[in-house]
Structure 1
Amino acid sequence: MNNEHILKPALDYIPPDLVSISDYERYARHFIRDDIWAYISGGAADEHTLAENLQSFARQPIYNRVLSDFSTANTRTRILGYELDSPLLLAPVAHQRLLHPYGEIATAQAAAAMNVPLIVSTLSSVALEQIAQHAGQWWFQLYWQPQREDNQTLLRRAIQADARAIVITLDAPVSGVRNRAQRAGFRLPDGVREENLVEFATSVNTAAEGESVIFKHFMKQRPSLDDLKWLREQTSLPLLAKGISHPEDAKALQEIGFDGLIISNHGGRTLDGVPATLSLLPAIRIAVGKDMTLLMDSGIRRGTDVVKALAAGADAVCIGRPQLWSLAVAGALGVAHMLRIFQEELEMAMALTGCATIDAISQDVFADRF
């Protein structure tokens, strides 16, 4: 494997001063080349949404409660029929061999060791079948392909490799104005490619000369409502839509048979100005009711963030950028340690907010309501 794009080899130990997710971000900066750092860390345009994702958690105060019974406390939960040790999942993140020679394989090994579900990206830099060999419970994230038969092929491969759920990302038919990565001159280096798509024909620009490539090519190829109904018919696995920010979209997807939604603004990487995901949750929960599965991502950095997300209406959270930082610093060991930090911080946050179980977390933890 050609890994000249990796600035430093990953550590085989955890430094003693690496005790939080922000420490992983600080360390990772020294392991990642500047243009790759700009690509994974940057947001869209002026990065207001990127910043707001973090600030929304910081602004939301919570109560310290002191009289709850913790004799049977635990973090177990049930998502889409699957029993989980905690409400933590790893979000789909593309191109992980940018950060480590083993890429998604190392992440899968860590997730399996920690019994945390992994959502594998269509744009992974290792084929999904290879990742599945090292994973515990894993889900497949689909980026819609222009030809339905190509989507069928990806679904068939994922099902044969024992994926437990299918997630289709809907909020990025175009990638957004990522100025930070543009200024840094980022491009995928030699040796890193989207391994799940190599068998498919390269997408051809369908816009005529003088027409908008965005409107006449990218938006033309995004999935329609009929495509999503067709997708629902292709599998009996749980089906989720990722990138939902509006209650009406959430309700429409519920009505055509989706089992769950991932409330997300793509980590602030697509449309700048979208509200923080935390602030989107309550209205979407009202729109779809209490029984539909809602996950969320974008901005989760602390165990208290997990509690706040669940209190606002989520059933579980998906962790994005921290898996890249920890992968770059210490490979599979780093990702496992990062997940351990989240687990321990979640338990600490539950203990101090008086929530002995996941079901006990509600908006009552908020000192100021949404």
Structure 2
Amino acid sequence: MLTTLSDFEIAASKRLPADVLAYLEGGAEAERSATENRAAFGRIGLFPRLLVDCGKGHTRTTILGADAVHLVMVAPMAFQRLFDPQGETAMAMAAAAQDAVMVLSCQTSVKPEDIATIPGRRWFQLYMQEGHDATMSLVTRAVSCGASALVVTLDAPINGLRDREVAAGFELSGDIRPVMLDALPQPPRSQLETGQSVVFDGMMVFAPKWVIWNA
């Protein structure tokens, strides 16, 4: 029986292929940030109040001005069809059943149109694209499929190095793709000149810049 988060982790380690598990569990490079994040979360505790009337206690709150029964949200996770055939569709149904806000990843492996009919509150993780039109096409599509807020991701102009994935030989299978990003036209890449950096001149030059998006 699966009763705790650690139970699900153990079950996943027994069921998923090694390379997919490396993608699911792994962090960037040596995973120091992931380790620190888990340690910081583990230091959060509840301060008990004894001998008080808790008869009217509740977890209700508001998130961005909308009522919520609790603060539990589903963070954006890419390519969920790697772990379940229904992918993000199954996650949307689970989130709705628990009254949790689901943040749909910009790298969803299921079309947002296929999720739009599922009840529940959803936000959309937006990866800023190289051009304004491409970015706005993602926004327009997400909003038309029911997204009520955007979670803007600015720190991923290029994919980070993930040592565990590399060691496990992880690659996306042909039928699992970032369906929203694949639908965007791919701009031509300029040829680098001698002495230019592949990272800074070839990739980071397309990273979002405040001076552009504030115009």
Pick the aligned partner of 2:186 from 193, 199, 202. Answer: 202
Question: 2: distance between equivalents of 1:165 and 1:124?
Answer: 16
Q: Which has the higher helix share?
A: 1
Question: 1: distance between equivalents of 2:55 and 2:154?
Answer: 43
- The TM-score, its normalising length taken from structure 1, stands at 0.55
The reply to whether residue 74 of structure 1 matches residue 33 of structure 2 is no
Give, as a single letter, the amino acid of the residue that structure 1 aligns with 2:182: V
Q: Counterpart in 1 of 2:25?
A: 41
Structure 1 segment 218-257 matched on structure 2, within 5 A: 218-229=203-214
The reply to whether residue 215 of structure 1 matches residue 196 of structure 2 is no
Q: Counterpart in 2 of 1:261?
A: none
Q: Indicate if the aligned counterparts of 2:121 and 2:148 stay in contact, CA closer than 8 A.
A: yes
Question: 2: distance between equivalents of 1:60 and 1:154?
Answer: 36
1:40 Cα deviation from its structure 2 partner: 1.5
Question: 2: distance between equivalents of 1:93 and 1:35?
Answer: 17
Cα distance per residue 1:263-298 (max 9 Å; x no partner) = xxxxxxxxxxxxxxxxxxxxxxxxxxxxxxxxxxxx
1:149 Cα deviation from its structure 2 partner: 0.9
Pick the aligned partner of 1:168 from 149, 152, 171. Answer: 152
User: For residues 185 and 145 of structure 1, do their structure 2 counterparts lie closer, same or farther at Cα, with a shift above 3 Å needed?
Assistant: same
User: For residues 66 and 31 of structure 1, do their structure 2 counterparts lie closer, same or farther at Cα, with a shift above 3 Å needed?
Assistant: same
1:220 Cα deviation from its structure 2 partner: 1.2
Question: 1: distance between equivalents of 2:183 and 2:58?
Answer: 45
**Equivalent residues, number:** 214
What stretches of structure 1 of length at least 5 have no aligned partner? Answer: 1-14, 231-370
Question: 2: distance between equivalents of 1:72 and 1:24?
Answer: 33
Two-structure CA RMSD over aligned residues (Å): 1.8
Q: Indicate if the aligned counterparts of 2:192 and 2:202 stay in contact, CA closer than 8 A.
A: no
Q: Counterpart in 1 of 2:99?
A: 115
Question: 1: distance between equivalents of 2:188 and 2:26?
Answer: 28
1:130 Cα deviation from its structure 2 partner: 1.2
Structure 1 segment 2-17 matched on structure 2, within 5 A: 15=1
1:123 Cα deviation from its structure 2 partner: 0.7
1:135 Cα deviation from its structure 2 partner: 4.2
The more displaced of 145-154 and 197-206 is 197-206
- The TM-score, its normalising length taken from structure 2, stands at 0.92
